[in-house]
Structure 1
């Protein structure tokens, strides 16, 4: 087995190879900006972005922290609402017929169209960002929880009913454990949506957060700082991915 094959099979390959690709990308980016004399207000060089990030490090940290707070706030609210609605839809045929079409219809509304309304109702700031993150996060959780309950084998339900098990006992022994894989699978999608929703709201109706920082820097023609904010968003997006 060659060294390359050993590297590809090693556990560190998932870290080393993307790191090498990232370094090469930034090197080529730096060379291209100097070679083609691209103006900084169009495409700043990585060195200029790095300088802007160091100069405005405090602002980047504070706004990144704000984005993290709103993302987690919306995500945890989405978990609570999604699990409750998912169990209601999965357990009750009436709830399924009433709520599921409403959820699907509401989910088709672009959430960015709701942000101005949230800003009108609650003012610009943290609350609209949390609400937008929540609205994007709870739907995949609710659908997956309902799907997990719906896929319980009918034979298992019949056996428990014949043994006199109540709905609570069915939930404890079968429903809840059977739903867990579906719930955890949905969390990865939900946290991604919450992150996107938080940033969308920050670009439209907020006075803090990385989304706000990017828009503010762009309006002031501080393109290196705007790119620094985008790179912070990229790092946060990679960091929120489960292993």
Structure 2
């Protein structure tokens, strides 16, 4: 109970700030005579979020699936490539220039190519999210696997441990904090990528809702979709945080 109370107290500043922003927002709309299509009131946004004429659950499901798929693909490919770079200097010299080149490409310009290559649907949105989010995982994985206390490596050599065993027992646990830190960045990047994919071409999803709301100047609907997108991103970020507490409690400052 003491820990729960402590956690709840930690949320008080964020809750107070949120309520203050809502109050200022409502006051600005009510007394500032701001047009609803420029800035809707919090009440109108809430009404839009609860509007049963809109298939919110279908849109949330489509976007959530794209975001989670993008995150998992970025995490898996990033860890694999980062491990390959740390394992072999030859692979590092071969892969790094290509990965840097890929990361510098304008991602929005690549989205139409995904439509040509894989067609319409959720897959191009997943690929877009993964493309935006995988690079930090690659770099942090490679750094985490490489920057390790040499005494630990020497200890493995003293016991004649093969390279793969040193990798599995020493290098990979050492890389956990680096990888998990990158996954927190990727959790937000996957959201951006998936929504960009929905902006380009999609018949469902929260990004599609935002695009269609522009034609009717329904700003409250766009705000409602943005809030749902933020909730999905926050849930994914929180899931990575929980995973960090389990895999690397020493890095999170928590007890195992």
Same fold (TM > 0.5): yes
4+ residue runs over 4 A deviation: none
Mapped to 2, the partners of 1:240 and 1:172 lie a distance apart of 27
Shift of 1:116: 0.8
For residue 97 of structure 2, give the secondary structure of its aligned residue in structure 1: helix
The separation in 1 between residues aligned to 2:52 and 2:211, in whole angstroms, is 15
Tell me how far 1:236 sits from its aligned partner. Answer: 2.6
1:40 to 36, 41, 51: 36
Alignment of 1:201 with 2:197, yes or no, is yes
Question: 1 CA distance for matches of 2:76 and 2:27?
Answer: 49
RMSD: 2.0
My pick for the range that moved more, 186-195 or 170-179, is 170-179
Q: What residue is the counterpart of 1:5 in the other structure?
A: none
Deviation at 1:238, TM superposition (A): 2.8
Residue 214 of structure 1 corresponds to 210
Match in the other structure for 1:105: 101
- Give the equivalent residue in structure 2 for 1:61: 57
Matched, 1:88 2:119: no
Taking the aligned partners of 1:177 and 1:43, their CA distance within structure 2 comes to: 48
The size of the alignment, in residue pairs, is 235
Residue of structure 2 in register with 1:190 after alignment: 186
Q: CA deviation at 1:114?
A: 0.7
Match of 2:68 in 1: 72
- Given the two structures, how large is their TM-score scaled by the length of structure 2? 0.84
Structure 1 residue 106: Cα displacement: 0.9
- The answer (yes or no) to whether the contact 1:41–1:222 under 8 Å persists in 2 is yes
Deviation per residue, 1:151-177 (Å, 9 max, x gap): 123454355345433222222222222
Separation of aligned partners in 2, 1:99 and 1:105: 10
Quick one: distance in 2 between partners of 1:155 and 1:235? 44
Tell me what 2:122 maps to: 126
Q: Normalised by the size of structure 1, how large is the TM-score?
A: 0.88
Correspondent of 1:11 among 7, 10, 32: 7
Secondary structure (helix, strand or coil) at the match of 1:19 reads helix
Please say if residues 187 and 233 of structure 2, whose CA atoms lie closer than 8 Å, have aligned partners that are also in contact.
no
The equivalent residue for 2:229 is 233
Unaligned runs of 5+ in 1: 1-8
CA distance in 2, matches of 1:116, 1:67: 18
| 2-structure distance, mates of 1:143, 1:40 | 45
